[in-house]
Amino acid sequence: MSVRVFIAALGTETNTFSAIPTGWNAFLESHFRRDGAAGDSHYFGGPNRLWRERCDSLGYAVVESISTFAQPSGPTKHSVWAELRDMVLDDLRAAGAIDMVLLHLHGAMVSTASPDCEGELLVAVREIVGPEVVVGVELDLHCHLTERMIAASDVVVLYKEYPHTDVLPRADDLFSICERTRKGDITPKMALVDCRMLAVWRTSLEPMRGLVQEMLASEGSDKIISLSFAHGFPWADVPDVGAKFLAIADGDLAVAEDAARRFAAKIWDLRYDTASTLLTPAAAVEAARSCRQATVFADVSDNAGAGAGSDSTFLLRALIDDDAQKVILGLIWDPVAVRFCFDAGIGATIGLRLGGKTSPYSGAPLDTVVTVKGLVEHGRQPFAGGDQPMGDAVLVGIGGIDVVINSIRTQVFHPEAFTQFGCDLSSYRSIFVKSAQHFYAAFEPVVDAIHFVAAPGVASPEFTTLVLNNAGRPLWPQVDDPFVEVSS
């Protein structure tokens, strides 16, 4: 009798401080497949496509449920979450006997009534399939890794890279580990250690690059099956916010616990060495003035990938005031401005009210005069083995500054966000991108330098002032030592 594998993908990343609600439209415009991910190129459906290929090569039967992802925003409307959850659970019940369940989830999804959507889903999956069926989960490393998720799963594997260049390799790892578990070749034991930290760790740069390499080198030796560093998603006021480390060992919980503690200690010891240098907006504008070759300035605080509006005007206004030249900036999310530019047409010069719409963190709208220089219908960017929709997009000129405005909120992932308009990035002295890190892999080989900028925004990296009433324990850097219990 053929082995039967159930697969599904369901995710979003919730910034509980974001004013942008997550409803059905957020899933439908970003990525939603009721008939499986095989016909869609969105990166979040990539693991489903890979798992189907692995199953096909082994002659296994596949039962595929939904594949969907919404751009990070505020909490998901609970009725929407419940409907998506029930699609997966109803498909699983209807599937009959299953030998293995493989799920691609984000791990930081919060509904208006549930702080741990993925944990809720996994508990329900386990209740349906029982204790004998292997349940494997792939998560984004920016997850809230909860004990409930671990208890309901046999194997949990996280991306190791930020930017997420290893979504498919980790999906392949998960399949192999779960298959070996199903056959009885291994018995995974998972151990989770709370690092009690809030930070952003960039794995393209040392010392994080070396830590990831050490994790990879440790897998497959001394009973260690898998190692995952959950960076966590700081902008969420939920009980499990913060970084954690997960280790999986074959049949030996003590080995897993020791590995998790050792790597958690390494991360703690590197806490100052892994901090990024962040420019103020004024310093970024001053640095851009002296650039001679294409240099990237990343607006990390207005990153749509962390739930921000991607429509703030702080940096653009400062560049205009400075009469900046040979600058390109994007992506500004403003569907109304896009519509006006499409109606005006290429070559038109029009007055435009731009950005500043989603919240006070976006600043005031910018009233300016633009020249329409390019129009693209259904723009897309490559990302993580798939792509990401931008929607209709326009290139406008404001003096010596070119700006890309788009209609589906997303961060900058790739130079194609700009070059699809015919732009030559080498002709600009500075490139301002609204993104925190996912742009890095594609831009680093083609630019002179990269700087990170902390402008105002709903994803500000100033973690010491982040109000986390539900965290339930102290976290660094809000306190110097989160492991010292403070007496009342």
Q: Which amino acid is at 81?
A: W
pLDDT (tens, 9 = 90+) of the chain, 488 residues, equals 689 999 999 999 999 999 999 999 999 999 999 987 666 788 999 999 999 999 999 999 999 999 999 999 999 999 999 999 999 999 999 999 999 999 999 999 999 999 999 999 999 999 999 999 999 999 999 999 999 999 999 999 999 999 999 999 999 999 999 999 999 999 999 999 999 999 999 999 999 999 999 999 999 999 999 999 999 999 999 999 999 999 999 999 999 999 999 999 999 999 999 998 999 999 999 999 999 999 999 999 999 999 999 999 999 999 999 999 999 999 999 999 999 999 999 999 999 999 999 999 999 999 999 999 999 999 999 998 888 999 999 999 999 999 999 999 999 999 999 999 999 999 999 999 999 999 999 999 999 999 999 999 999 999 999 999 999 999 999 999 999 865 44
Q: Are 438 and 174 in contact (CB under 8 A)?
A: no
Rounded Cα distance, 252 and 1, in Å: 32
Task: State both tokens at 136.
Answer: 């494997």
DSSP letter string, 138-186: EE-SSS---HHHHHH-SEEEE---SS-TTHHHHHHHHHHHHHHHHHTS-
Q: Are 292 and 429 in contact (CB under 8 A)?
A: yes
Q: Are 164 and 443 in contact (CB under 8 A)?
A: no
Rounded Cα distance, 228 and 329, in Å: 35
CA dihedral 387, 388, 394, 399 (to 10 degrees): -90
8 membership: H or E segment, kind and range: strand 4-11
The residue ranges of every structural domain in the chain are: 4-269, 278-460
